[in-house]
């Protein structure tokens, strides 16, 4: 099968079926069709990985192994979140918009031109605004912050792309290179929500439906990290700019610290997920600061692990919030006894994001810590504080979940729970499997990392 056909399918298939899914979005069949579409696209991406570069808009697309694996994981994660929507509706438009967004982001990740990629991601962001708000009246803070942060980054990326295109001869000029590094750093910091620019992360976690929040936390940071890897692969001299390493390491460390501390004092699972994500993104940025192949392997392993963790957290948080008809820990007393699978899934997801041993998250943290310790002994300590903060936050929640239920407390019955249970068990198993037997995934991550550094 030619490369052009197979990579074009990834964008074309969801786009062809989206009108049908849009028309059926209020019925369960629409949800099932969306799940099927996401799963089949993930399968097709891996099955028909293109050997030759395809063309789109007159530009050669990069559909290498890194792209194939990332896009397949994105569609699988989307399918996992769609299963949630069958029992706890996350907004009727989630099915068609979710597919459009992931198809658009997949296209962005294949485009070698950073400016066009940034514009495509921005289009995906603008579509996501509608599912984040989900027709909810009143506060629009989450959608607004998300919109502002991502839009402000686009001009920075367009300038970087313009500089890279137009001034091939100036790369010996340190001032010019520093300018590109600064613009890229600003753009990626806004997109990744690095502290203190994390307003969109915490606002989305607080206001959006948990499934939608998980969706945004999976798709857009993944896109940002992927494009960052691509940029560094094509312009490795960016890492030679003075203080780049310090900026990445300390920027990441600040996010780790802020995420961990704020996570430990939350009183409900939704905002807790936001700060746990901030901690996790901080560790990935620190891994960037390592500037070596081990760091890239840790990042790639981390991307896969965080997708599993976030689908778990999105699913389980939504189920528990919906069952309790409230979000606070206090309102969830005893729910752990009624929803043991969801509670277990929540804890595995949390442990994965926190980087606890025996989970997929631990591998990334371990690889990062091993390389960070020789650089500065404070970094492992900061990672430990952040990780403990996230753990404390979730253990406080667990404490409420397993407490005896209050008399007369009612629990909402959810449809299609068997499917959610199955997804939670499978994903929990995947996280534990990757944590216990990481060799295969780690080998894949290291192979993919060779294509970057």
Partner 1 sequence: MNIPSLADIFTWLIGIPVEYTTLIFFLTGSILLLAHDWRVSVLALVGQYLTMGAALVYLVKPEIAAAKVLVGLFIGLMLYLSARQAGWRQKLARSAHPLRALMGTSGGAAFPPGRVFRLVVTLLLMVTAISLGQSYPIGDLPNATGIAVYWLALVGLTLLILSENPLKVGQGLLTAITGFELWYTTLEGSLLVVGLWGVVNLLLALAVGYLAIIRGGELEEDF
The site for partner 1 (CB under 8 A) is made up of 57-58, 115-116, 119-120, 122-123, 126-127, 129-130, 133, 135-140, 143-144, 147-148, 151-152, 154-155, 158-159, 162, 166
Torsion from C-alpha of 109, 112, 113, 115, nearest 10 degrees: 20
CB of 218 to partner 1, least distance (A): 21
Nearest to residue 287, comparing CAs of 364, 181, 190? 364
CB of 195 to partner 1, least distance (A): 19
- CA 154 to CA 139: how far, in whole Å? 25
Query: Residue 48 or 176: which CB sits closer to partner 1?
Result: 176
Distances from the Cα of 2 to the Cα of 33, 53, 242, angstroms: 27, 9, 44
State which H helix or E strand residue 326 sits in: none
Query: Residue 156 or 332: which CB sits closer to partner 1?
Result: 156
Retrieve residue 166's tokens: 């137009």
Query: Residue 207 or 327: which CB sits closer to partner 1?
Result: 207
Query: Residue 147 or 319: which CB sits closer to partner 1?
Result: 147
Query: Residue 136 or 293: which CB sits closer to partner 1?
Result: 136
Query: Residue 122 or 280: which CB sits closer to partner 1?
Result: 122
Retrieve residue 300's tokens: 């790639």
Query: Residue 154 or 189: which CB sits closer to partner 1?
Result: 154
CB of 148 to partner 1, least distance (A): 6
CB of 133 to partner 1, least distance (A): 6
- CA 425 to CA 422: how far, in whole Å? 5
**Neighbour count for residue 109 (Cβ, 10 Å):** 23
Sign of the alpha-carbon torsion through 304, 272, 140, 284: negative
CB of 160 to partner 1, least distance (A): 12
Nearest to residue 415, comparing CAs of 27, 25, 21, 18? 27
Distances from the Cα of 437 to the Cα of 302, 378, 413, 443, angstroms: 15, 29, 37, 11
- CA 407 to CA 282: how far, in whole Å? 42
Query: Residue 108 or 253: which CB sits closer to partner 1?
Result: 108
How many helices and strands (H and E) does the chain possess? 18, 2
CB of 136 to partner 1, least distance (A): 7
CB of 60 to partner 1, least distance (A): 14
Half-sphere exposure of 439 (CA within 13 A, CB side): 1
Query: Residue 166 or 410: which CB sits closer to partner 1?
Result: 166
Q: Under the phi-then-psi rule, with left for phi > 0, alpha for psi from -120 to 50, and beta for the rest, what region is 326?
A: beta
Query: Residue 146 or 188: which CB sits closer to partner 1?
Result: 146
CB of 101 to partner 1, least distance (A): 12
CB of 206 to partner 1, least distance (A): 16
- Cis bond upstream, residue 196 (ω within 30): yes
DSSP string, 51-96: SS--EETTEE----HHHHHHHHHHHHHHHHHHHHHHHS---TTHHH
CB of 147 to partner 1, least distance (A): 6
């Amino acid at each position: 099968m030619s490369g052009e056909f197979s990579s074009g399918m990834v964008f074309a298939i969801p786009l062809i079926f989206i009108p049908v899914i849009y028309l059926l979005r209020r019925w369960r069949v629409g949800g099932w069709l969306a799940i099927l579409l996401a799963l089949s696209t993930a399968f097709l991406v891996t099955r028909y990985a293109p050997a030759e570069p395809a063309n789109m808009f007159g530009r050669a697309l990069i559909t290498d192994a890194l792209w194939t694996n990332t896009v397949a994981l994105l569609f699988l994660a989307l399918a996992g979140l769609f299963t949630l929507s069958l029992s706890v509706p996350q907004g009727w438009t989630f099915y068609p918009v979710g597919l459009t967004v992931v198809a658009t982001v997949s296209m962005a990740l294949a485009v070698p031109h950073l400016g066009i990629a940034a514009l495509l991601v921005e289009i995906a962001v603008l579509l996501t605004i509608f599912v984040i708000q989900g027709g909810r009246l009143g506060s629009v803070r989450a959608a607004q912050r998300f919109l502002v942060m991502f839009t402000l980054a686009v001009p920075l990326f367009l300038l970087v792309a313009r500089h890279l295109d137009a001034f091939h001869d100036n790369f010996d000029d340190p001032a010019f290179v520093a300018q590109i590094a600064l613009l890229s750093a600003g753009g990626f910091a806004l997109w990744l929500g690095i502290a203190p620019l994390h307003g969109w992360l915490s606002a989305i976690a607080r206001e959006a439906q948990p499934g939608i929040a998980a969706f945004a936390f999976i798709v857009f940071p993944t896109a940002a990290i992927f494009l960052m890897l691509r940029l560094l692969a094509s312009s490795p001299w960016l890492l030679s700019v003075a203080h780049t390493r310090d900026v990445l390491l300390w920027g990441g460390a600040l996010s780790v610290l802020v995420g961990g501390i704020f996570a430990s004092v939350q009183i409900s699972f939704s905002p807790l997920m936001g700060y746990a994500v901030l901690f996790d993104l901080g560790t990935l940025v620190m891994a960037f600061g390592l500037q070596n192949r081990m760091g890239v392997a840790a990042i790639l392993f981390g991307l896969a692990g965080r997708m599993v963790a976030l689908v778990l957290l999105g699913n389980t948080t939504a189920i528990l919030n919906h069952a309790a008809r409230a979000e606070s820990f206090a309102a969830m007393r005893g729910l752990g006894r009624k929803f043991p699978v969801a509670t277990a899934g929540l804890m595995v997801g949390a442990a994965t994001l926190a980087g606890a041993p025996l989970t997929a998250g631990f591998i990334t943290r371990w690889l990062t810590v091993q390389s960070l310790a020789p650089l500065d002994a404070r970094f492992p300590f900061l990672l430990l504080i952040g990780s403990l903060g996230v753990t404390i936050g979730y253990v406080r929640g667990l404490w409420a979940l397993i407490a005896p239920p209050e008399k007369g407390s009612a629990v909402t019955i959810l449809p299609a729970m068997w499917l959610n249970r199955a997804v939670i068990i499978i994903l929990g198993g995947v996280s534990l499997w990757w944590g216990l037997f990481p060799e295969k995934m780690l080998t894949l991550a290291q192979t993919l990392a060779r294509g970057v550094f």
